[in-house]
Amino acid sequence: MKWVILTVAAALSLSVQAASAQNLEKAIFAGGCFWCVESDFDKVPGVVSTTSGYTGGKTKNPTYKQVTYGDTGHYEAVEITYDPAKVSYEALLTAFWHSVDPTDDGGQFCDRGDSYRTAVFALNEKQRKAAEASKKAAQKSLGKPIVTPILAAATFYPAEYYHQNYYQNNSFRYRYYRFSCGRDRRLKDLWGEHAFKGIPKN
């Protein structure tokens, strides 16, 4: 009898987990170095997971070297899985704008080239409309033209394993890179007190 009760409890637990998983949604943003985008969004309450990868280009199953030095058309991007009951897509968009320099069409901070450009990849019409409205509001707040495009989502290819959670697995190197690249200094200059605070706390 005890075994049966435990089995039922386990089944109920799995049922709740499955229902919760079904309610999760995704967002895809390109904000320059995907290590930094992962670091920023992992700190947003309601974000369940982040995955660094490549999207928006023509090459299937691209490698980091191909994306960085080749002509794949891909962006470095991050796929964000989030719980819409805890954080809205609109809130994620606001965090995104304040974590990048959306006035730069040549890359981000010290990282130059097409793969480091910013973009919002809308997974459906609802996201597209929300992104367009959010972009307009951010541009008004910033007082400068925003060049970040809103694009239809394409196939997302996860990056190599060593890029995932890089800021956690290689904390010292990550911090040195981020500081040297001037990301947070530029964000402060651009957004002032509204800049997203991107350096993770240990």
Q: Which one-letter DSSP state was computed for residue 125?
A: H
Q: In this structure, are residues 89 and 177 in contact, taking their beta carbons and an 8 Å threshold?
A: no
CB atoms within 10 A of CB 154: 17
Alpha-carbon span 41 to 197, nearest angstrom:
11
User: Of the residues 33, 36, 110, 181, which is catalytic?
Assistant: 33
Q: In this structure, are residues 168 and 131 in contact, taking their beta carbons and an 8 Å threshold?
A: no
Active-site residue flag, 33: yes
Q: In this structure, are residues 79 and 50 in contact, taking their beta carbons and an 8 Å threshold?
A: yes
Q: Which one-letter DSSP state was computed for residue 109?
A: T
Alpha-carbon span 25 to 91, nearest angstrom:
13
Q: 171-181 and 183-191 are packed helices; what angle lies between their axes, rounded to 10 degrees?
A: 50
Q: Which helix (H) or strand (E) holds 48?
A: strand 47-55
Alpha-carbon span 76 to 182, nearest angstrom:
18
- Catalytically annotated residues: 33
